[in-house]
Structures are given as structure tokens and as C-alpha cells.
Amino acid sequence: MSETPGWWLVFRGSELLVALEGTAARLLRQGDFGGLGLSLESPHEIGVLQGEICFAVELPEGAEPPEGMAFHGLRRLWGALDEEAWRLAGRAVQIVDWDRNHRFCGRCGAETVPSAGERSRTCPRCGLQHFPRLSPAVIVLIERGDRMLLARSPHFAPGVYSTLAGFVEPGESLEEAVAREIFEEVGVHLAGIRYFGSQPWPFPHSLMVGFTARYAGGDLRLQEGEIEDARWFGADDLPLLPPRMSIARALIEDFLGRHASHPLS
């Protein structure tokens, strides 16, 4: 194992090994590995947390957590880790997954090698470079006067409604993706599509690009299999909302800050 101090993001597949502290969790430090017999080779440098470098490594599939620690997926750790640590874990899980999935060249099948000076893997036979990939997705809050359109996907927690989202397709702009996704999912047309902000999202390799837009026509028509329910909500009849730390919640709170007499605290 490297003797480099700092924070260590240790994965078993997509699950992160964390130290448990009541209902909270924390990332691991070098001292947490004493006597565990873990071989943590070829760490990926991920970023900096509290002034110290963070490294990501992967354990074998059958690895068991030591006492006082547990493997959890990042969705479960949302809120248990502080926001900065969770964001770094989201970056780390994507880097580890990319490295695992590109050990062999997708063009010729040869074993790839890490590239010097940049985060990529290179095929020594055909020269193809494999970089970490992102899947851009758009997410939009649609306004209709003092009401906003929120919807439920079948995989949402019971009672939760959120803003609509979808992946960008090759050859289209972000604004075109917004208009297409909304028409496909709920059958309405938009006007005034405006950029709001963005958020990296590790489920699995997304960059969420947020927009606001105005309703421009059409009746709600739900896409089967994608949208379970969609409704226009006002500030006084809100459903359960997505958790904080999400751009969906930021979009909703921005709307409420402009339309509610008592915005969410």
C-alpha cells in the first residue's frame, strides 16, 4: 500500500467503504488500514478534502468490511457523508468504474496501459486512447404562472415528485434536448428555455445541466414506463420533494423563492 497520507476512497464495485459514527459516516484515512491486510495498489488521485489529497482504490469483489466499517452505495450515503466528501466520492466511483471497464481496448481487444501525464488508458497495439466519459443530461423546471410541473418516475421513493430530466442525444444542443425530452415525457411545449446551473451526478456518469422554462401549450400526456404521474403544483400544495444537495431541489427552491410567501428553510 502507498505510504502517502490523506483520505482514501475504497470501493468494492460501486460501494464505498466508510467508517460508521452513529448515523453518520466518514471517509477513511491511512491509519484506518492498520492490520487489515488490504493491498491498495495503483491509487487514483481524485482531489483535495480539507487540505489533504484523496485517493481512490478498488478492492476485490468478495472483500468484507472490517469491524466498525461498512460498504454502502452512494445513494444510501447521501446525507450520511458531508456534501464535499460525497461529491468527491461521486467523482471517485466514476474514475474507478472507468478504469475497471477499460482494461481492454474496445477497438482491437488488446490490454490497455495507463497513459503518462493524463487520465487515460492507451492501447499499445492500435493507439486508441480511452478517457473517462460523461453522459450529459438536462433537467428542467417548467413554470406556468405561479405553478410548476413536477413528476414521478417509477423508481422514485413513495410520494416524491421532482423536475423532469433526460439524456442529451448525439447531434442536439442542450436546449433542443430540453424541448424534446419534455415533449416526449409529458407532451407539452416550452418557451423561454434558460440555463440555471449544473451538477455532476454519479448515477452512473452524468453531468446534470439545469434549465428553467415556461409552459407554452399542450395537455399533459405521460410517457408510458417513464412517467408515473405529473401535476402542476403551487407553493401551498407541495408534494414530497427530492433531497437537498440535488440540482432538482435547487431548481424547486429557486421557484419557491420567487413565488412562495414562506420559502422552504
Residues 67-86 have pLDDT tens digits of 889 999 999 998 899 999 99
Confirm if 151 and 159 have CB atoms less than 8 A apart: no
Residues 84, 119 share a domain? no
237 found inside a domain:
yes
CATH code at 49?
3.90.79.20
Number of helices followed by number of strands (H, E) in the chain: 4, 16
Answer whether residue 1 shows pLDDT above 50. Answer: no
Mean pLDDT throughout 117-125?
Answer: 96
**pLDDT tens per residue, range 32-49:** 766 555 666 678 999 999
pLDDT of 3 strictly over 70: no
pTM of the model: 0.88
Shared domain for 142 and 240, answered yes or no, is: yes
Contact (Cβ atoms closer than 8 angstroms) between residue 247 and residue 139: yes
Pairing of strands 135-144, 206-217: parallel
Tell whether 162 and 227 lie within a shared domain: yes
Number of separate domains in the chain: 3
Rounded mean pLDDT of the chain? 92
Asked if residue 157 and residue 145 are part of one domain, the reply reads: yes
Percentage, residues of the chain above pLDDT 90: 80
Amino acid residing at 156: F
- Is residue 201 located within the same domain as residue 215? yes
Judge whether 140 and 180 are in contact, CB under 8 Å. no
pLDDT of residue 264: 64
Could you tell me if 96 and 121 lie in one domain?
Answer: no
> Which residues, 6+ apart, have CB-to-CB distance to 117 below 8 Å?
none
Residue 2 lies in a domain: no
CATH of the domain at 162: 3.90.79.10
Does residue 86 form part of some domain? yes
Of the listed ranges 1-10, 47-56, 57-66, 248-257, the least confidently predicted one is 1-10
Q: Is residue 264 part of a domain?
A: no
In a shared domain, residues 88 and 173: no
Between CA 22 and CA 162 the distance in angstroms is 30
Residue among 52, 142, 135 at smallest CA distance from 97? 135
User: Which among 101, 124, 156 is the end of a domain?
Assistant: 101
Residues 108 and 205 in one domain: no
Residue 61: per-residue pLDDT: 86
Instruction: Evaluate whether residue 265 is within a structural domain.
Output: no
Range of the domain at 119: 103-133
Asked, for residue 229, whether it belongs to a domain, the answer is yes
